Structures are given as structure tokens and as C-alpha cells.
Amino acid sequence: NAGVMQNPRHLVRRRGQEARLRCSPVKGHSHVYWYRQLPEEGLKFMVYLQKENIIDESGMPKERFSAEFPKEGPSILRIQQVVRGDSAAYFCASSPLQGGGKNIQYFGAGTRLSVL
């Protein structure tokens, strides 16, 4: 019974390149959340998606960041034209139903993005 799978575990990009982070939720889960963890800080919410829909993107930077959760395949967090400030650990979580605490969010091991 696989948990949330994120890949790659570590991604190195040069400034100006694109970063694509993948997240496969727990089998049967249709709700996906992305969080960012800057060094020495807690996780910060970025976006909440259901299949083919963005429900809440209130934590996403207005530019360069986008997320999708297609009908088939993993959820993708895409960062265009990366800058050094994007260096962080990006975590994906999934839940079987709508989150908010009543339904537990299960986390992946994260992708550590390093921007040179």
C-alpha cells in the first residue's frame, strides 16, 4: 500500500531554468496539497487541487508558479525561470476526501530544490 510518492527527491537547477516536481497521491486519494518549507521554517501552504481542478491557490506566488492535477497521472508543481529564493523543500500531501483536519493529510518525503 504505497504512500504519497514524490520525485525527484533532489532537483538541482540553474537560475532561469524550469523545475517540475511530481507527486503521486495515495491510491484512491483525489485531493492533493502542495506545501513549501524554507530552511529553518515550518511548512507553508501553496495550493490545493482536486482532479482537474484548482480549489485554493491562495498560497501560490502570483508569477512563475503553477500546479495541475490531471485526470490521469501525477500532480505537477511547475516553477518557471527559477531564482535562488525558490530553493526549498516542496512537500505534497493527499487525502481521500476534502481536508481541513477531519480527513488526515498524508505527506510524501518532499523534493529538495536547489537553485545554483
Backbone conformation region of residue 30, classed left if phi is above 0, alpha if psi is from -120 to 50, else beta: alpha
CB nearer to other proteins: give 16 or 97. Answer: 97
Q: CA 37, CA 45: separation in Å to the nearest integer?
A: 9
Rounded least distance, CB 81 to other proteins, Å: 26
Rounded least distance, CB 70 to other proteins, Å: 20
| Amino acid residing at 66 | S
CB nearer to other proteins: give 75 or 105. Answer: 105
Considering only CA atoms, give the Rg of the chain: 13
Binding site residues, other proteins, CB under 8 A: 31, 33, 35, 40-45, 48, 55-56, 59, 89, 91, 93, 98-102, 104-110, 112
Whether 39 and 52 have beta carbons less than 8 Å apart is answered as no
CB nearer to other proteins: give 40 or 72. Answer: 40
